[in-house]
Amino acid sequence: MFEALSSIPMILIAKIAAIIAGVLFCVAYLTYAERKVLALMQLRRGPNVTGPLGLLQPVADGIKLLGKETVIPAGADVVLFIGAPIVAFLLSLSAWAVIPFGAKAVLADINIGVLYLFAISSLGVYGVIIAGWASNSKYSFLGSLRLAAQMVSYEISIGLTMVTVLLNAGSLNLSEIVEAQQDGWFAFSMLFPMFVVFFISALAETSRNPFDLPEGESELVGGFNTEYSSMIFALFFLSEYANMILMSAMISILFLGGWLCPFASLSFIPGPIWFALKISLCLFVFIWTRATLPRYRYDQLMRIGWKFFLPLSLLWVVLIAGLRVFA
């Protein structure tokens, strides 16, 4: 094992460490930003005591969770109970390996980057299902089954919207998809309906309002994470926010031109900064949606996915493919 690690170039290890540290830092302060934005929208203060302007609140939250006792329910499968949040968290980090932050600024510039992202996002449900089953609680199990059904419904729509992007870009490589938008972002073209479908499906994929049914406190106490506490609960929390940032990055790459500058007069600003700004805009809309919309009923969630998004996505795949063939 140590021989294998020693054969890895130090520059690669440094890049991996930088990406992980950056994602964890962004996740920590996304929780702060969300509470601040929600407070502004609801005319209250939000975190403002711990540190200047409350900036040390994420640090205080981490210390608090580290100090809490890890309680494992009687009858729970200990290995799976502890392993489930670790799996969910590691999957949310591993997807960043193929995300291009700028021109040639990517850890692994593989030709099937889209398939890799699709596979990683699909595997994320296993952590939640294992957590619900291993908790030995009917509420947790029902919450995990809800998420499984929800992800099956919306993964199909996400996959079909990706197909329309691939047809337009002519490549599975994420960097080439960004470069294909030099003459215009896909969000402002024939793919605008797919942009809307992808964004709403991303809300369902990350279990965010108004599609946070796996954690529906009014029906399921706390959903799939009811029995979790301390840092193993925090891992689920961190993976949810890491997935929010990841889906925002995917939206930026597939539809908003990734690191490309929207204005020729501002082309002197580095591409990674534009990429970060686009991710921040998407995250703001995630939070705005949470502050605005009530939770959907489960039948409404399923109806949107199967009766509206799926037929629309299929229709658009046929339409875009026909235009590519006959144009």
Q: Determine the pLDDT at residue 132.
A: 86
Strand partners, 102: 105
- Which tokens in the block code for residue 249? 């990055």
The whole-number pLDDT of residue 221 equals 72
Count how many residues are written for the chain. Answer: 327
Structural domain for 9, as ranges: 1-67
pLDDT value of position 16: 87
Instruction: For residues 21 and 162, state if they share a domain.
Output: no
Residue 9 CB coordination number (10 Å)? 8
**d(C-alpha 53, C-alpha 205), whole Å:** 32
Cis link prior to 9 (omega < 30° from 0)? no
The verdict on 48 and 92 lying in the same domain is no
Domain boundary pick from 13, 40, 67: 67
Distance of alpha carbon 189 from alpha carbon 186, whole angstroms = 5
Q: How far apart are CA 239 and CA 214, in angstroms?
A: 15
State the DSSP code for 50: S
105 three-state secondary structure: strand
Residues 179 and 268 reside in one and the same domain: yes
Report the number of distinct structural domains present in the chain. Answer: 2
Residues 228 and 202 in one domain: yes
CB atoms near residue 191 (< 10 Å): 22
Q: Are 34 and 127 in a shared domain?
A: no
Q: For residue 220, what pLDDT is reported?
A: 67
Q: Identify the domain boundary among 67, 84, 114.
A: 67
pLDDT in tens, 26-65: 999 999 999 999 999 988 988 888 888 889 999 998 888 8
pLDDT of res. 276: 93
Show which of 67, 83, 108 is a domain's final residue: 67
If pLDDT is split at 50, 70 and 90, which confidence band does 229 have?
Answer: confident
Same domain, 172 and 272: yes
Highest mean pLDDT among 82-91, 139-148, 260-269 belongs to 82-91
The pLDDT value recorded for residue 2 is: 45
Check pLDDT > 80 for residue 4.
no
Q: How far is CA 15 from the centre of its chain?
A: 21
Q: What is the mean pLDDT of residues 66-86?
A: 86
Give the global pTM: 0.90
What is the tens place of the pLDDT at every residue in 8-37?
678 888 888 888 899 999 999 999 999 999
| 154 and 243 together in one domain | yes
Predicted confidence (pLDDT) per residue in 269-315, tens digit? 888 899 999 999 999 999 999 889 888 888 888 888 889 999 999 99
> Per-residue pLDDT tens for 154-208?
888 888 999 999 998 888 889 999 999 888 899 988 899 999 999 999 998 888 8
Specify whether 235 is located in the same domain as 101: yes
Quote the pLDDT of residue 245.
Answer: 93
* pLDDT one-digit tens code per residue, 106-157: 888 888 888 888 888 778 788 888 888 888 888 888 888 888 888 888 888 8
Helices H / strands E in the chain, number of each:
13, 0
In 10 A of CB 239, how many CB atoms? Answer: 25
SS3 labels along 163-228: HHHHHHHCCCCHHHHHHCCCCCCHHHCCCHHHHHHHHHHHHHHCCCCCCCHHHCHHHHCCHHHCCC
Q: How far is residue 213's CA from residue 211's CA, in Å, rounded to a whole number?
A: 6
- 49 and 83, same domain (yes or no): no
In terms of domains, do 151 and 205 share one? yes
> What token pair was written down for 164?
């329309």
Q: Do 145 and 59 share a structural domain?
A: no
Q: Measured at the alpha carbon of residue 211, what is the angle toward residues 255 and 284, in degrees to the nearest 5?
A: 50
Same domain? For 5 and 101 the reply is no
* Per-residue model confidence (pLDDT) at position 112: 85
